[in-house]
Amino acid sequence: MSEAAGLVGARRLLKRLRDIMAGGGLAQARLDQIVRLIAAELVAEVCSIYVMRAGEVLELFATEGLKREAVHRTRLRLGEGLVGDIAAHSQPGNFPDAQHHPKFAYRPETGEEIYHSLVGVPILRDGRVLGVLVVQNRTQRLYNDEEVETLETVAMVLAEMLATGELVSPAELAPTDGIALLPLRLEGVRLNGGVAIGRAVLHHRRIQIREVVAEDPRVELVRLDEALASLRSALEALAASPDLAPHGEHREVLETYRMVAGDRGWLRRMREAILTGLSAEAAVQRVRNDMRARMAQVTDPFFRERFAELGDLTNRLLLLLGAVDEQPKLPETPEEIVVVARELSPTELLDYDRRTLKGLVLEDGAPTSHVVIIARALEIPVVGRVREAFGKIDTLDPIIIDGDRGVVYLRPGEDVQQSFSESVRLSSARAAAHAAARDLPATSLDGVHVGLHINAGLLIDMPHLHESGADGIGLYRTELLFMVRRSFPSVAEQTHVYARVLDLARGKPVVFRTLDIGGDKALPYLPDEPEENPAMGWRAIRVGLDRPAMLRQQLRALIRAAAGRELRLMFPMIAEVDEFDRARAILALELERERALGGALPSKLRVGAMLEVPSLVYQLPQLLARADFISIGSNDLLQFHFAVDRNNPRLAERYDLLSPSALTMMRRVIIGCAKLGVEVSLCGEAGSQPLEAMALIGLGLRSFSVASPAIGAVKLMVRSLEVAPLAAYLVALLGQPDHSLRKKLKDYASDHGIAI
């Protein structure tokens, strides 16, 4: 059959289907007519429709070719037999010899033993399987792509009929094991810190299309083009939202949306679907269903997020074409809401009123996912990876999210509500105290000055440098630029971002850490192999030294970005001095290259190393002879020092900076640097806690790089501290065999009026 003849046949079949569905009478009678029509049009000896019933059971509802007594009698569980397997995977199945397939389930009441070939497609709506459409023949044959596509189109039309509830009541498919309305504590992960209190609003768009079949494809193509133009205009308006800062990765996210909206493959597939006889909105839905079925098998978070972007654009396009959003409308919007979603796109988040939106709960999500980047730009607390959140949370449930600890409190008791309300009040009071101290120096009562810098990694972090009153950026994580992109950024793109960071710093020092990928920070476009111990695997400087072209491009961009200005950079996870020497040699090559090209070099260059591996402590004198500064990466250093996985909750209590052994190691590094006059600082979570920072200051540390919200608390601690007596007290403690010195240090702070 030619392609043109196939399109004509598909359009004829859709028109006849529409006439049957528009006719009167019982739904069962119409379903019987439909299987007869499909069998005749596709020259098939059997056409059957299985419908999903309660308990994930597929029931034979109509057939042409199988025995009539099998209707409403033959049932298959989800995953059982070929039909159940098609439903379980939400993908078509094409079997030239079905009876000899290992998953074939024989039902004697059907009389299907004489039929060999079988093709089936899932009947999908909103990603949910409503049933399976099956065609069979006596001869062994593999059905061609045109026949499968025709069945998929028919299945989409059938989905609208099954969704009406005429055949199976929606109440039957509703969950029966309802959850008692008791308080629940749901665990997740921190994606953006802060506390939010409000009422839950479940985000779940259900788009209903009104017309599936169209008379004139030319009219539908025009409608599609007009809707696409409106979509692009709407995206431009979102990008101009006054709630968003003019610069930052969130702008790049929205630019990605504009690129996806112009994707030629997406547009081509929608136009081809219209030519089969579908309306514009049905064609959009058909392409989305195809992609949803393919993406169900994909686990890579990068590609799943790209699908989520396309899904959001599809919804917007459908609404522009006149489809109806069936998401239940609230009688009135609460003053404070927390949005709960399985997945959410950045533009969908921006659709909510910023004045009422207080927090976000996701069943999935990652720190660098696009919706989290936008939420961070809006300063919205986010808790992600909350399993089965959608099944446990009801619309308008009272909800509290603790973004700092990654916990969701559902229908909290009065005591929990009062505790968090008090926490919010105290947090506001602390924020006011921190703001009042912003321009005051971090100087102790006995005149010791401590440098306080912030950690950053995205352009949206840059305003915090000045808002917090920090001295500079002690750690700029360059890998986040690579992780939020669809492909490896070019030298020009990197140069632009790094230069922008220096511009926004307004003369305050910035320490750029070279690419620290690997472990839990994979780049989706850089193939890698699974590792048993990724934290100790191929990561950080090891990747840079093994892939020198990647490191050279980044160093080239940093040199160009800092032209005429000071450049501070450090290499991560140096395990031995030889690695530092090799990294500096690559840097020297790039400096010479830029000089030869006549480019402007940095006015001053300072090169350091991150001390994250205990082996480097034993080569400290050799390292300090080469490095301009050292930055202690407390997270990894203590993890390797204790041989403890810091992400393992069973071992959390054993991972304590305030143990005598850890503090002794820190003191050794601090004293070694002081003897040779090499600046040493600490970046990591340990420095963000006032008590830990107090102990390190007592050991002689005078510079920290911390999360920007911690600056105020650490500064107030420093300003209430007298360093000399603390230092003497600590020396006496280090020789003790305690598991941790935490309690003793807390008592010391309390006795001396130190604000921790």
If you search the block for the tokens 């399987």, which residue do you land on? 129
How far apart CA 721 and CA 753 sit, in angstroms, is 8
Check if the beta carbon of residue 511 is closer than 8 Å to that of residue 569.
yes
- In whole angstroms, give the CA distance from residue 119 to residue 107: 17
> 488 with 524: CB under 8 angstroms?
no
- Residue 422: is it exposed, middle or buried by C-beta count within 10 angstroms (0-12/13-18/19+)? exposed
Bridge partners of residue 440, in order along the sequence: none
Give, in order, the Cα–Cα distances in Å from 401 to each of 332, 371, 386.
22, 17, 11
Nearest alpha carbon to residue 21 among 160, 207, 175, 209: 160
- Cα 565 from Cα 50, distance rounded (Å): 70
Classify 507 as helix, strand or coil. Answer: coil
**Number of Cβ atoms within 10 Å of the Cβ of 476:** 27
Block residue for tokens 């395990």: 575
Catalytically active residues are 370, 683
Task: Dig out the tokens for 65 from the structure.
Answer: 């070719």
What is the spatial distance between Cα 59 and Cα 57, in angstroms, rounded to a whole number? Answer: 6
**CA–CA separation, 415 and 432 (whole Å):** 26
Which residues, 6 or more positions from 395, have their beta carbon under 8 angstroms from its beta carbon?
200, 201, 202, 328, 330
Give the span between the Cα atoms of 377 and 130, in whole angstroms.
Answer: 39
Let me know if 241 is exposed, middle or buried by CB neighbors in 10 A (0-12, 13-18, 19+): middle
What is d(CA 82, CA 120) in angstroms, rounded to the nearest whole number? 8
Q: Please state the length of the chain.
A: 756
Q: How far apart are CA 318 and CA 595, in angstroms?
A: 55
Token digits of residue 289: 């269903």
Give the dihedral sign, CA 194/200/201/202: positive
Q: How far is CA 16 from the centre of its chain?
A: 44
Provide the 10 A C-beta neighbour count for residue 236.
11
Give helix then strand counts, H and E, for the chain.
27, 24
Q: Which residue shows structure tokens 């997406």?
A: 266
The residue type at 658: L
The pair of three-digit structure tokens given for residue 400, joined into one six-digit string: 């509290």
Separation CA 756–CA 751 (nearest Å): 12
Nearest to 186 by CA among 43, 361, 345: 361
Spatial contact of 207 and 403, defined as CB atoms under 8 Å apart: no
Provide CB contacts within 8 A for 327, sequence distance 6+.
Answer: 203, 204, 205, 206
Give the Cα separation of 376 and 366 in Å (integer): 12
Q: By the 8 A CB rule, do 333 and 354 touch?
A: no
Tokens encoding 31: 């379903």
Both structure tokens of 335: 């003053």
Q: How many CA atoms lie within 13 A of 179 on its CB side?
A: 14
62 CB burial (10 A radius; 0-12, 13-18, 19+): buried
Instruction: Report the candidate in 420, 401, 373 with the shortest Cα–Cα distance to residue 256.
Output: 373
Cα dihedral sign, 257-259-264-265: negative
